[in-house]
Structures are given as C-alpha cells and as structure tokens.
Structure 1
Amino acid sequence: MPIRDLSRLLVVGLGNYSHPHTRHNVGMMALDYTAAALLGSAPTWRLSKSVGGHVAETVLDESDVQGMPAGWTQHVVFLKPRTFMNLSGGPVARAARELGIRPENIIVFHDDLERKLGAVSMKAKGSASGHNGLKSMIAALRSDVFRRVRIGIDRPVSKDPAAVGDYVLQRFSDAEHAVLLRTGFPAAHEALMRLISDG
C-alpha cells in the first residue's frame, strides 16, 4: 500500500471468497462494480499477505466526486477479505492498522436479508443485526462505528436457520444478476460517493 501521505478511506466488500456470485457475496460483487467504475474496467487487485485479502487503491479528486472543492483529494483503499464471512474482521482490522485508518473511516458493502433484491440503504453504526461478517468486524475493530452500505438479497420463505444458511449460499440466477447490475450495484456505488462527499 504505497500511498501514505493523504487521508485514507477503507472500503470493504464482505463475502465468502470461495463462494463467488452467491447471495452472501453481494457485498464483494458490489465492490468489484464500484472499483471498476473508479479505477477502470479492469482494476488491478493484488493479494496482500499481511492483510489477508485482495487490495486495490486509487486517489480521488474533485473531478471524481461531485461538489468537492478544488484541490480536494481522498486516498481510497478497496479490500476483499480472502476468508470465510465469519472471519472477515481479521483482514479488515489488519488493513486498518497498516493504514492508520479509524473505524469511522471504514465503509462496508454487505448483503441484507431484510431488503428486496437490489434495494440499497446506508447505516452509520450499530449492531450486526445477526450478520456474521459484521459481528466479526465489530469484534476485531472493537468498535461498531464503521459505516455500512446494505444491499438487499430478499429473504427465503422459511425462517429456519438452516434454510436461511442454504439460501445465502445459492448463486444468483441470470435474472437476479441483471437486477443487481441495473439497480443494486449502481445504487451501492452512488451511496459510496454520497458517503465520501458527506465526509
């Protein structure tokens, strides 16, 4: 992570790295979308062994974020933990320590069972609401003040924990993926830009 002289923001995409394109992985998929939007269609991701995840980075300026004053810059580091969801906190905390980033300067993309597919909302802080990736982050960071971009994946009819577990590990259908590309991922990207511009 060579850029050390600007204010830094860590943007994390939660998911199970070994289960791509599944519902539980929508945070990581959204991060891929927004990284491509900001870094170009094929951003360079590198594996950071010290962190335990794939990292990409850029420096934004006033031409990238609407409404920012001349001379404004923001160093943004994107992180995809290379772990199971319930161990995500380790890579996030290690990246935060390496970069000197406080929890309030971390933004997380994650899946949300309580929202319709592709619906996006933001949350400033608070409990994990049962999300294992957020639980791991809160424990590792010893803080819950990081900001969240929640991306809806719908909920299965059954509320049985086993059924929910199976549901989140299902791959998106082509039609569902089209909805995310049309609405969910662009909305998550806009939410990130809004959080950056609002400080």
Structure 2
Amino acid sequence: MSAAGKSSGGSKRLGRREKFVLTQIFLMFNGKPGILHFEDIKDRLLRNVDTWKDYWRVAEEAERCRLALYRLEGRGYLKKMRRADGSDLRCCLFEVTEEGVEAARLAARETLEDDIVKKALNRLRAKETRWAPIDMIMENVWEVSKNMKLFENIEEFEEYWSKRKLGFVLKKRFNLKRVKRRVHGKETWGYALVNETR
C-alpha cells in the first residue's frame, strides 16, 4: 500500500504471498466462507502463463503460495479439513474461517486498489466523461467497491479512502493531471480523463 494510504488493518502484518492468497480467496468466494483447495490458487496463478519459462516461474510461486496457506492456517484464517476420526485427508482442503473472510476482505482492499480505481475511471470514460472532480471519481470508486463487497458500508469506505489518498493514486499510479474547469461559474479542480490535444 502507498505511504499516503491508510492501513488496511489486519492485513498489514501479512507478507505479499499471504495477501495474494487471501485476495484470491475473497474473489473466489465473494467475501463469504468456503472450502479451498491448493489447486484453486495454483490455477489462478497459471491463468496468464504463455511460455514454458513462465510456467516454471509460476510453479515456483505456487509452491510459495502453498506454504502461505499453512501460515494462514496458523493465524486461524484457514482450518485444515480432516476426516471424522481426526486423521488428515490425502488432499489439502482448507475451510475459510470467519476471521479468514474478514482478513481476505482487508487484503483485497489493499491489493486491488489500482484495479478498483481503474474500473471507476473506465466507468466515467464509458459515459464520455473527459474531466471529473475528485468527488465524482470517489463516488465511482465507492460504487465499484460496493459491487465487489469490499466494504460493509459507506462509513467503512470513507475511513479507508480519503480524497488525499485517491489524489495520490491518480497522480502517482495513473499519471492523471489536475486541471481547473469552470463549473457553474466557479473554478473547480478536477482530473483530465483523456489526453487532449490543442
């Protein structure tokens, strides 16, 4: 997460791979408990593989993610499923606990920041919006976040996203420039969403 952003709570002590695994869990189960197999994570890693070189690189990453699953189990976010007699199953099946669901939501907020803002900007561009004030962009970020169930309510969203943080993301990660426009007779700062040639 950027230095300008607020902490995402429980996910701040997690490593990159734990956050990745939790984010995939959030996306797979839509913010609800579920049953997870290691192959589910591996399949998601392999989706964008084009070459054998990439395949072996991803295979190594998958092994690191497998170890991350056990670290998440140690934190109580996952619970290894066992037979009725308590013995281990031959395959690695994990149940996502309630604590895991919340940790996955927190991790997804952080790791999906750029994707959320990109979708919000694309929504505006789809309406042929060429310039937008920060409030309008923030409203679309909220709509995208709400649809993805990243926040329980607007108060939670506003605690995580501030205008300052969004402005930082727009400038540093999307290279959008602040531009003044006259709106209802008043000069207002906003962001140019398209490159304008004069």
Please confirm whether the aligned pair reaches a TM-score higher than 0.5, indicating the same fold: no
Q: Which one has the bigger helix percentage?
A: 2
Normalised by the length of structure 1, the TM-score is 0.23
Give the structure with the higher percent strand: 1
- Tell me which structure has the larger Cα radius of gyration: 2
Using structure 2 for the length normalisation, give the TM-score. 0.23
